[in-house]
């Protein structure tokens, strides 16, 4: 399938810095493949909306490179420019920038000549009840199976960063052993390379926008985001900890607004597990024997779950409490020695154990000292009324250690062991045992 030549005016984003320099970043290298796969009719509104999401993704990359961006010019087709509420769109873009990056950046939409797509491309007649974002992670595994039970026709949508090549082996296995067997449709979208140096804060916007575009394409108004509540409402676990915004309610709201402005679609973003911990999700899952084949790690570089990032930590807690067979990790956070050198992170085990101890401290405070907690740590819990959710999560944290230490006689890292023994003086073992029993009896 060939696409006709586009106007060169649509080829670049422009990022202006405080010192007057301009960085131009090509758009077509990112979305040309996407548009081939996305929509045979290649409607300009989808093209423009996708570019909006890419602009934020590239803005984050510029900010990580320490560039002091003060203004962004985003190319947009004239037809879309004249149809949308420009003032409202610019207001949304500024709000997103303030929320994710805490940067008051000027946005400008640059109307360009309309793109002349080939007229012989055919609009799809395929319809789905729901689009379910599918990352290859444990939450999306549970979510897509849950969606299949509740909806007649579900499309699982994998959004792939080309730099995450080893993640594809997980996806291939899950597609063959899970999705194909359950007769769940699957599609893959190619997007820019993942942003280096930690979690990308703008990727949630990109994923939800891609999901909204596919929903529009397949005549659905329902997008399923299968994150557990602990991730959606993730608080600060430590004093200096940063939270991620991948599935934050504000990002969901901004995504809905942009999808409505550009596509005219009132999208419903469904979060069926927003009041569940991972252990509860895993315990309720079908096809549990395949759950170990999922990938939850901050990086796919090593072809397996590393075991010491936040994603791996809460994954392990969930698997242990739900009593489900897990994968082999590169490192075991519970037994990791402080002086172990972690080549992937160029640091020592002590630093990662410190991270887990912060998680233990947070969980202890929720259970024992909630009223006296630093408000920064519980702000989201209070704002969204999620105390009961995080109380259950906190019990899961100590339940996982209880199972390893008290029941399986695992030799823990000494600092984790001592922190557990100190905490258990104030936390009832019966409450922990009851929590384990409750989770394992979920269906």
**Of 57-66, 159-168, 231-240, 328-337, which has the strongest mean pLDDT?**
328-337
Contact indicator for 400, 321 with CB cutoff of 8 Å: yes
Confidence (pLDDT) at 160: 85
Under 8 Å CB-to-CB from 258, ≥6 apart: which residues?
Answer: 49, 52, 89, 92, 209, 212
Residue 25: pLDDT band (50, 70, 90) is confident
Would you call 314 helix, strand, or coil by DSSP?
Answer: helix
How many Cβ atoms from other residues are within 10 Å of residue 416's Cβ?
Answer: 20
Residue 439: pLDDT band (50, 70, 90) is very high
What is the chain's mean pLDDT, rounded? 88
For 235, the token pair is 């608080």
Residue with tokens 């194909």: 180
- Given 3-state DSSP classes, what are the helix, strand and coil percentages for the chain, each rounded to the nearest 5? 50, 15, 40
Residue with tokens 């599609």: 187
Residue with tokens 């996305």: 38
Nearest 5°: the CA angle 231, 234, 237 is: 125
Could you read off the pLDDT of 80-116 as tens digits, one per residue? 999 999 999 999 999 999 999 999 999 999 988 654 4
Under 8 Å CB-to-CB from 388, ≥6 apart: which residues?
Answer: none
**Of 9-23, 24-38, 231-245, 386-400, which has the strongest mean pLDDT?**
386-400
Phi, psi dihedrals of residue 180, rounded to the nearest 5°? -65, -40
Query: Distance of alpha carbon 76 from its chain centroid, rounded?
Result: 27
Q: Quick one: average pLDDT of 341-362?
A: 90
Q: Report whether pLDDT(240) > 50.
A: no
The C-alpha atoms of residue 185 and residue 202 are separated, in whole angstroms, by 27
Query: Distance of alpha carbon 52 from its chain centroid, rounded?
Result: 18
CATH class for the region spanning 130-270: alpha beta
Q: Where are the beta strands (DSSP E) in 207-259?
A: 222-224
Phi, psi dihedrals of residue 310, rounded to the nearest 5°? -60, -45
pTM listed for this prediction: 0.90
Strand order, beta sheet including 69-77: 22-26, 12-17, 69-77, 106-112
Phi, psi dihedrals of residue 268, rounded to the nearest 5°? -100, 120
Domain residue extents for the chain: 8-112, 130-270, 288-440
Confidence (pLDDT) at 407: 97
Sign of the dihedral defined by the CA atoms of residues 238, 244, 247, 250, in that order: positive
Lowest mean pLDDT across 13-17, 68-72, 233-237: 233-237
Residue 303: pLDDT band (50, 70, 90) is confident
Q: Report whether pLDDT(6) > 90.
A: no
- Classify residue 408 by its DSSP letter: S
Residue 65: pLDDT band (50, 70, 90) is confident
The C-alpha atoms of residue 236 and residue 37 are separated, in whole angstroms, by 38
Q: Helices marked H in 299-386 — which ranges?
A: 310-322, 349-368, 375-384
How many Cβ atoms from other residues are within 10 Å of residue 8's Cβ?
Answer: 11
Could you read off the pLDDT of 361-395 as tens digits, one per residue? 999 999 999 999 999 889 999 999 999 999 999 99
The C-alpha atoms of residue 177 and residue 157 are separated, in whole angstroms, by 17
């Amino acid at each position: 399938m060939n696409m006709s030549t586009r106007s060169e005016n649509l080829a670049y984003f422009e990022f202006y810095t405080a010192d007057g320099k301009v960085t131009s970043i090509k758009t077509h290298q990112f979305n040309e493949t996407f548009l081939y796969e996305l929509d045979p009719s290649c409607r300009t509104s989808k093209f423009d909306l996708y570019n909006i999401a890419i602009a934020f993704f590239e803005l984050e990359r510029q900010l990580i490179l320490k560039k002091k961006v003060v203004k962004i010019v985003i190319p947009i087709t004239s037809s879309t420019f004249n149809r949308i509420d420009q003032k409202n769109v610019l207001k949304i873009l500024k709000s997103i920038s303030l929320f994710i990056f805490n940067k008051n950046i000027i946005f400008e939409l640059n109307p360009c000549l309309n793109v002349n797509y080939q007229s012989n491309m055919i609009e799809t007649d395929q319809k789905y009840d729901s689009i379910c974002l599918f990352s290859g992670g444990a939450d999306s595994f549970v979510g897509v199976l849950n969606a299949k039970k509740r909806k007649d026709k579900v499309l699982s949508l994998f959004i792939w960063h080309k730099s995450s090549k080893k993640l594809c082996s997980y996806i291939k296995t899950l597609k063959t052993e899970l999705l194909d067997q359950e007769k769940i449709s699957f599609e893959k979208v190619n997007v820019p390379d993942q942003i280096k140096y930690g979690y990308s804060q703008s990727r949630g916007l990109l994923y939800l926008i891609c999901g909204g575009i596919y929903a529009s394409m397949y005549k659905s108004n329902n997008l399923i985001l299968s994150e557990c509540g602990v991730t959606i409402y993730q608080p600060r676990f430590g004093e200096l900890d940063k939270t991620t915004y991948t599935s934050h309610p504000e990002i969901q709201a901004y995504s809905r607004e942009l999808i409505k402005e550009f596509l005219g679609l009132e999208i419903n973003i469904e979060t069926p597990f927003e009041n569940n911990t991972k252990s509860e999700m895993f315990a309720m899952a079908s096809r549990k024997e395949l759950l170990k084949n999922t990938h939850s790690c901050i990086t796919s570089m090593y072809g397996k779950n590393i075991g010491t990032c936040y994603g791996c930590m809460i994954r392990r807690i969930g698997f242990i409490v739900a009593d489900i067979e897990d994968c082999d990790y590169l490192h075991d956070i519970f037994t990791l020695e402080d002086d172990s050198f972690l080549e992937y992170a160029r640091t020592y085990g002590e630093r990662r154990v410190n991270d887990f101890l912060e998680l233990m401290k947070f969980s202890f405070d929720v259970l024992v000292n909630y009223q006296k907690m630093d408000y920064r740590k519980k702000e989201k819990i209070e704002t969204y009324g999620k105390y009961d959710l995080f109380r259950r999560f906190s019990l899961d944290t100590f339940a996982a250690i209880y199972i390893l230490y008290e029941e399986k006689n695992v030799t823990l890292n000494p600092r984790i062991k001592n922190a557990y023994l100190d905490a258990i003086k104030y936390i009832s073992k019966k409450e922990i045992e009851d929590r384990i029993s409750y989770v394992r009896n979920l269906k």
